[in-house]
Chains A and B, each alone.
Chain A
Amino acid sequence: MAISVKVMKRPEAGRTSYMRATLKGMSLTFKHMVNPRTVTLQYPEEQPDLSPRWRGTHRMEVHADGRPKCVACGLCPTVCPANCIRLVGGEDDQGNRYPIVYEIDEFRCIFCGMCQEVCPVEAIHVGRHFENAEYTRDRFVYDLDRLMEQEHPTTLLWDPSDSRSE
């Protein structure tokens, strides 16, 4: 492909006005100066309006008696593309499976939300939440207790019949 130079169309000599253009620009900036149309979100005071399908850090749903809903089926660590979920399952006297260890490394997580999609009992969820700052790196491996403590709203699953979540 030949290299070509785009030649800008300029007004003919003597037909441009720098004085009037300047005054026009000054009036425009003045309008903005007295009436700034700011769109900046004053973040800590004003919270952003997160999408219902925003995928943030996880939370684990709990039963009314405080047990996690997870049945340790092992689907989420299997489907997880980042391999960030560590699950060791156990079984109680009645034969109910429950997680002994359930850890999510939020640093490895890519927030694809597939764990939530694959979960048969709607136990693990990604959340509409983004304020995750911590002082140390090891605080980012969320264990079961931590996941159960989370209180932020959970993400809405994608619905094929309502593809824009409206």
Chain B
Amino acid sequence: MNEMQQLDTLWFVIFGVAKVLGVFTVVMLGVAYMTLAERRVSAFIQDRHGPNRVGPFGLLQPIADGIKNFIKEETMPGTAARFYFILGPTLAIMPAVVTFAVIPVASPLPTPVGTVDMIVADVPIGILYILALSSLAVYGIVLSGWASNNKYAFLGGLRASAQMISYEVALGLSVIAVLLLAGNVTLTEMVWQQQQLGLWFALPLSLAFIFFVISAFAETNRLPFDMPEAESELISGYHTEYSAMKFSMFFIAEYAHMLTASALMATLFLGGWDIPIWKGDNMFWHEGALIQGFDASGAAIPATPTVLKTLLTLAAFTVKTSFFVLLYIWVRWTLPRFRYDQVMHLGWKVMLPMSLGYVVIVAATMLVLDQVGVPFGLTYGLALTGVSAICTVAFLFFIDRDRIISGAHRRKSGRRTAGRTLASGERA
């Protein structure tokens, strides 16, 4: 029973520091190797080899890149606002790294002095903390865009802020659907609720999942939403004037953001560290004790945390996160960049109303299910899955066939452009 104990203060601090260091190291290493993965995968997609010279399979390439970035010359534009110019990259990298703190990475680990939660900080505000901090990252981009005193950098900063505002709304609304179903904002509880439901939220909330993925792409400024960078239009947008390690900081920030977003998507929609089907890994702190679930009479079944379970769940979490990282890379090297008006159109006229409508539908369905008296479990989840599947199909049908994202030629055709004043023919 000793192993089930919660930690006392001293050990809590010791393990806390260890977890901070561990997660930070892993995130930084992950970022380094994501750059390699991006280059290798993009190479494979384009029938190339990618960097494969430094170390076996190019595995030491990120280290070589790091050294190169450290010893490169730092340039400071003469007309830049010096303080904000330096503050920019700092502000960009900070939120990307700290948001990982509230994501649970594995099931609790038993130690001789008590059970250690595999999460840096299980704060009660969970997802709100992530939303608050991740949108702070845009300040770094806007600030560096403005401080560079360069019109391209400035345009990049402007675009970043507009895009962040547009998609933050849809992101928040798709999270609301998750909050409705999970009934709590902490990510540990979300994982627990997915285990209890027997279904990952990606199924009962499929449309929210799609919206979240799209918004997450926009939030991390990844193609097809890399408006702020847009090499072909804005040189390289907000980091045009940056060099050496300051440039590298933006790069690390982007990838750290991707990693956090991937981990978040895995936690919110793919059950976090949960291993599918197997019930043995279900674990949650309930009234001071780790429980596995409730039996038919409502009594708690105690859980038995083991080191093996922690490792297995950690592996599950890693696999899920890597899946999303790979998805990011895969999409980037497939889709072309949106036009700016398409980004705004998709954000405000499609994502916002549809995610709002979807929240209403989910809430209504849950209300009906609660009123009918369906217990929170597989049946509940499947009913919601059915409703969401209908919504998803309707959404895909609506977005398909040139209805949402139209080519420039459609503006001229005038058939569906009655409300727009862009068609030059109308003015003449």
Contact = CB atoms under 8 A, between A and B. Distances in A.
Contacts of A137: none
Interface string B368-404: 0000000000000000000000000000100111111
A20 B403 CA distance: 13
A161 interface: no
Interface stretch (B13-21, B44-52, B240-248, B309-317): B44-52
Contacts of A16: 401-402, 407
Nearest to A24: B334
A4 B41 CA distance: 42
B2 interface: no
* Most central of A8, A15, A25 by chain B CB within 10 Å: A25
A16 B407 CA distance: 9
A10 B331 CA distance: 25
B206 to A, nearest CB: 15
A43 B405 CA distance: 45
A26 B331 contact: yes
Contacts of B46: 32
B45 A15 contact: no
Nearest to A15: B402
A8 to B, nearest CB: 8
A133 interface: no
A39 interface: yes
Interface in A36-75: 36-40, 42
Interface stretch (B78-86, B117-125, B144-152, B409-417): B409-417
Contacts of A22: 334-335
Interface size class of B (residues with CB under 8 A): 20 to 34
Given A36-B43, A37-B47, A29 B396 contact: no
Contacts of B396: 19
B401 A14 contact: yes
A19 B330 contact: no
A30 to B, nearest CB: 7
B215 to A, nearest CB: 17
A86 to B, nearest CB: 41
B400 A18 contact: yes
A29 B47 contact: no
A25 B44 contact: no
A17 interface: yes
Contacts of B49: 38, 40, 42
A17 B400 contact: yes
Contacts of A14: 401-403, 416
A26 B335 CA distance: 8
B47 A33 contact: no
B406 interface: yes
A13 B44 contact: no
B333 interface: yes
Contact of A26 (B47, B334, B407, B409): B334
Given A10-B407, A32-B47, A19 B400 contact: yes
Nearest to A41: B49
13 contacts: A13-B415, A16-B401, A17-B401, A18-B402, A28-B334, A30-B330, A32-B46, A32-B47, A33-B45, A36-B47, A37-B47, A38-B49, A40-B49
Interface of B: 41, 43-49, 330-331, 333-335, 396, 399-407, 409-410, 413, 415-416
Given A14-B401, A16-B407, A33-B41, 7 more contacts: A13-B406, A14-B403, A15-B401, A17-B402, A25-B334, A29-B330, A33-B330
